[in-house]
Structure 1
């Protein structure tokens, strides 16, 4: 299939593109002009034969119709302005991303796509203390979560009007090689390996981690699904193994052990983030039931994979 991917050099985007290429699809990867991350998509310093890189601003996605010049099957939209922690609080920036996303739907229809996939976020759900399935009430606590939820509602409506299938992948917490250096896992590994000290919050909230390769396989499974995703409801949770969900401090302590018990850490020294104490308890059984996907990489193996690549 010909598959258009925006946000192709983001952490999750890179994982998805690599998996789609591995499965033999032709990917049109849309990057910002002069992107410094284009090398992330290369294999042995070369562009794969089934990859076409297109530089285009998220505000001008309509230009892709002429630039691609051939029919496509799936449009995977992961491009988002203001995904960083500070920008997530900027309602104006988030609204621009909503407009970009809806324009991406129209572009997908013009390209002849039959399916539009969007990467949403657990931030849409807000704070919950119970198992979070796709039908749990949404109470986003940030402009970022509100914007992602707005796309869910408006993109589904627009897709139905344009006769497009719609899948909304609600992604929980991802990790793996290439993760952001400021993430909790990256910071813990970097600090412990240097023998440093980690000052942490209480870390008592429930958490779950999804390995990047499993995330890529999940998005590829949604792209390849032979039926209509909308027939099962448009939202699909993507999370790690459900049996591994537990207090965040359990994951910190696993990392500490795998780093050879170097360095030190202390709980209760940092306040919760601006949204409060958030639990991540994803129910991913719908993805298994509908798309035949389940995560394969357990947390210990994922951390070992990261350590081997350092």
Structure 2
């Protein structure tokens, strides 16, 4: 039986990944924050052992692990949303935690380390090349992701561990309670409100949550160490086209407020948001078309967000 360690295991992506691994014959050690409010996401799952350990104490977690593992998925990260996304102290700590995770992977004899990269790392590189001031304080998060990527890559080479840092594009789906774009637009349309948006001319790539975590697993099992993987669909199109499709599914009678916000972000290219490596190296394919994923997410929001915030994963 394959065995994996997962940090950030009660998060939106982490909890789906744990279930994906279990459904494919893994035993999982889920490292979660002490007294996590989202611990219920892992309840009643077989073949899961829970270890409460704050990210700041990962360096000592090996004392409580008495067996070897095969794969280490490091999804734990502080300040993904909200004010701490721009808090450089919090984000610098995340770099240290990522290196501690790599060290723990080495101590538990994992042969493959899979980090949670972000497509925003590429945005950061583009902004760094510009001869102008950087005003987006969210770059603290992007920069920490990028730094963690390179530091862990160095450490993996020294530890002789196969290394993967796939860049996740934009995931969404049943169970996400954040105020990110897809969630907030769906919620406004359900409530009969017009979302205020940018012109939507910049390119986007969305992937449904179950497809995203399956990609993590398949990269771990079949990926080529150090290769450049982007976890996303094969559809890289302007944001406006995605949101028009979303509206047609959720509430076709409303209009979308395109152009009411100014877009100050980076204009990514198709090459930035998609490459064939995931598909050609592993045989991976997505299963959930965008409209299908939106319908499932909207149906869940209608049912669940009016009542309990607790999430039952499908």
- Give the TM-score, by structure 2 length: 0.86
Matched residue, 1:89:
86
Instruction: Give 1:238's aligned residue.
Output: 231
1:75 is aligned to 72
Contact kept? 1:128, 1:279, Cα under 8 Å: no
SS of residue in 2 equivalent to 1:265: coil
CA distance in structure 1 between the partners assigned to 2:19 and 2:284 by the alignment: 17
Render the CA deviation track for 1:143-170: whole Å, top value 9, x for unaligned: 2121111112111111111111111111
Deviation, 1:127, is 7.0
Q: Any unmatched runs of 5+ in structure 2?
A: 304-314
Q: Aligned partners of 2:11, 2:39: CA distance in 1, in Å?
A: 10
Give the equivalent residue in structure 1 for 2:100. Answer: 103
In the alignment, which residue of structure 2 is the partner of 1:54?
A: 51
Could you list the runs of 4 or more consecutive aligned residues of structure 1 that deviate by over 6 angstroms after TM superposition? 137-141
1:192 paired with 2:189, answer yes
Task: List aligned pairs for 1:72-221, cutoff 5 A.
Answer: 72-126=69-123, 142-221=139-218
Secondary structure of the residue aligned to 1:266 is coil
The answer to whether structure 1 residue 2 and structure 2 residue 33 are counterparts is no
Distance 1:54 1:3 in 2: 13
Tell me, in whole angstroms, the C-alpha distance in 2 between the residues paired with 1:37 and 1:81. Answer: 15
Matched, 1:270 2:270: no
Greater Cα offset, 112-121 or 88-97: 88-97
Structure 1 alignment gaps of length 5 or more: 130-136
User: Cα–Cα, structure 1 residues 147 and 247, in superposed 2: closer, same or farther, change >3 Å?
Assistant: same
Q: Distance in 2 between matches of 1:77 and 1:280?
A: 28
- SS of the equivalent of 2:123 reads coil
> TM-score scaled by structure 1?
0.87
SS for the counterpart of 1:297 is coil
Correspondence for 2:249: 258
Cα RMSD (Å): 2.2
**1:12 maps to 2:13:** yes
- Name 1:279's counterpart in structure 2: 268
Q: Residues 29-40 of structure 1: matches in 2 within 5 Å?
A: 29-40=30-41
**1:87 CA displacement:** 2.1
Whether the 8 Å CA contact 2:118–2:145 is kept in 1: the answer is: yes
**Cα distance 1:138–1:60, how it changes in 2: closer, same or farther (>3 A)?**
farther
SS in 2 for 1:117: strand
Over 3 Å counting, the alpha-carbon distance change for 1:75 and 1:272 in structure 2 is: same
